[in-house]
Structure 1
Amino acid sequence: MSETTIPRTGTPNPENHGNYTAMVLGLEADLARIEEHGTTEECLEAISLLETLTSSADYHKAALSHQAEINITRNNTQKGTFTQLNRGAAASVALARKADPHGYGAYLENCRILFNDTPHLAAAYSRGEYTETQMRAILTPLRGVKAERRKEFDDFYALNPAMFHNLGNRKIGDTVKDFTLAYGSDDQCKEQKAADEQRHVKFTAHPATGTMTLHAHLPLAAGIAMKNEIKAKSQSLKAAGDERTRAQIEADYLASFCTNPDAKVPVNLNIGLIMTDKTLFLGGRQPAYLEGYGVIAPQYARELVAGQEISNNMTLAEMAKTRSPAFIEQMEATVELIRLYTAPGDKDLIAMDSKARIFPEKMKKFIKMRDRGCRTPFCDGMIEEYDHVTQVYLGGHTCVINSDGRCKFCNQAKETPGWQEIVIASGPHEVKIATGMGPTYHSTAPPATGFAHKPYPQCMSEADWVRSFEEWLNRPTDTGSSPPGIEDIPA
């Protein structure tokens, strides 16, 4: 049975409507001149300030939603009629926000985490530093770990308040997931393998348009390999002058495996997997990064390398004792380890160089692993083009320091007259972007491993030890000297 109400006629006049109207009128008066006659710089600055104001208002909506849930839970507890004590809270908040109630249970759970476990994040949210979407990207992965781990992450954030600056929502989520997987990786790995067992392919016909939709649920490694191969093929054909769009090339290339008898599915499909040596060989719990996907659980990464299931804390050497020689030989023959060295005391990839005008393929691979995605602030696009930060015609060199990865849209936007970019740091790689329209931004490459850049005070002294070791390597063969040992490393 439902109840129908007759809508009111005339202009609605809710409680406190007068106060709200006065605030809006005051804001509109401040913005009226800019909206009509403001310069580009003034317009962009006003947009940024309004975004900060909106984010602060979203914080207060979250705080009010959390308090409303507390009140509803208290009332239900006193009545004693519900096993779910917060029943009705999500629906009530959704109605107040004029939104679909589906998903508001998760929204209230994020609010509980925000105000109970992460006070430093809540303070930043109240200042308008993050949008509601960005806070969702931060809080959602934290739901998978215990409260003490969430508090630990919040304390780390308090010491590194810039760790999310200028990141897109997907990159923010990957950063937090990199932290949570170190504690919830066992369950995540089991869920990953259970999902692999549900692999399937589904075809849906569309008679009205004469097309079909292909939906495939593939294991992670196979899906990433296929994605990389199809993307690389479309890029190469498009660069060679193919008149088809990238999407058309990818669709035709995928279909050709079945429709063209001469086509062959690539045998050597490569995937980029970045992990520390401790994670790979010593059973470490530092999550790995899978190129084109994001962070994955450490033992799942080890299984991708080994080709078979292994326990979380088992090293490859220990695994070898339980496997047949044929399996070990197959693993050694099919897995290629590419070593990428990081700067001493930090987690940033060391640079490489080239004298070519066009980026060599190995340098492209390095840039793609270093940047992971488009380097434009807040952009979550994939790397489609490799760009000189300082253009060649302005004297820029072809090296990884003067380069970054961009999506096609952002790389074209950079050529706007007045747009300037410059590298201001190489470790971590940081670019300053001046749009020529007022605001300036910074783009920092993510750490190769871990979820935040953590420079150490002993970095320079460790670098001195590295230089002494290099001198020993380049010594005359008849000196009979020994290499610097552990006892020679500065404290």
Structure 2
Amino acid sequence: MTSAGGASGAGDQPRGPVLPSGGGAVLRAADVRALREALAGTILPGGTDTASVSKEAQAEWVDLLGELEAVKNTVTATQGRLAVALEEATKADEARQGVRAERRGRGVPNQVGPAMRLSPHPGGVFLGTARAWITDMPHTFDALRTGVLSQWRATLMVRETAHLSAEHRAQIDERICGPANLAALARTGTRRLIAQIKELAGELDVHACVKRNAKAVSERRVSVRPAPDLMVYLTALVPMQQGVQAYAQLKAHADAAKAAGDERGVGQIMADTLIERVAGREPGKADEVPVAINLLVSDRTLLAGGQGPAVVLEGAAAGVGAVPAPVARELAAHGIDAEAAWLRAIYVDPRGRLLATTSLSRFYPPGLSALLRAREQGICATSWCDSPVRHLDHVTPFAEGGQTSLGNGQGLCARCNHAKQAPGWSQKATEMDGRHAVETLTPTGHSYVAVAPEPPRPVRVQAVDGAPGWTPASGMGPPGRVPRSRYSIGCHTGPDRGAIVYRPGRNTGPGRRPPRRARPADLSWAHPRPGR
């Protein structure tokens, strides 16, 4: 896929001034803040009881909706101009400091994103799109600035012309968003707008369109991302003919299975068949693929019937996230039942923090790496960033004396790790509410604090005779107490709510094997006998 930034290079200078010096009043943050507060405190015109509002007042509400939408578009254009101006100023500062050209400005998306309450990746996409508006598409930018064009439609103008030269892109910009075509643009739907852009692009440069299609085929891939309720989206980006063929075969198989009496829905049969064929399993055995799932869970939840949620750290690109306690227990029990799961224990101190450890190595060893990823729960530690952890980073750089320790470590995505190495960035490890935190100071003096997620709390046992208490998960007890020899994991709630047994849906169609366990979810661990 082609990036939204399009044909314009990172060093291209806008044709028009990004910071115009004449004309209007100076825009200041305090003025915008006052406007925002005024809008937040306004009262809708036409009364306070919606049951007795006149038609005139309702018509005014519709007009107000339209004007507010236009204001949003104008604000987006102003944000785009600010982002491009910040990038130019940053590159100029870094050029004076001797930074290589290919590294200049790479920290700007990490400033734009948090300022707009976005992760750095969409911040960088917005920056590239705004650069294309100002550099190559002045009519699109003017339509956005005056409120005629929405941010999404202006982004489509950039995305669908990214493969063209600057000259051809400018021609499409004028023919669709020029002053003479604004009235027609307001009546055009989004799908029809995309079709118009593609038609004009084919007329102006058919070779560029063919090259774009060939490039798209080379970028075929499979991806996975979390979905609600312990599910994931398994997505394949493939050429159209291949995707249609695969879907048609799955659909034909599902229709045949339904005709033969399969009680599952068509969508369920298609999903099960896809997994069975990809995993190379027999029908009904798709869930028996050996896999390791890292479950961050307290001993109370896993062993003592606690109700604290668990966190699935792996199983998707950035983990699945929090799951209810009964689901966590069933996940562990079913996985071990099928000989398909590994349980990784993460120990915490009485305050719920992961136990710290250090290393003399320049790089984080495997055990410490696992703790870092568990503490961040698989997601980049930068504020607003939702990318999966790719790099294990020293908060205080190793070259500046920073330790390879849990307290001086953080899990970051590649973009955030590279951005903090730009001139003017600094970080320090701190603590907030008893949890590990990192304070980041940007070149403009803005500060952002990222706090590690709270891990599941351990069982608290009263100390006896001055000796520390132990949790049931450790297999030990206070002095004088014989440890339990077996632990049972059941799906139970508190006594006031009764018992709950969590059972994922079992398919019962033809070829499905019977459940391997005819009892409630239960998992028992036996301690090894002495001498064995």
TM-score (norm 1): 0.41
Bigger RCO of structures 1 and 2 (CA < 8 A, at least 6 apart): 2
Q: Based on CA coordinates, which of the two structures has the bigger radius of gyration?
A: 2
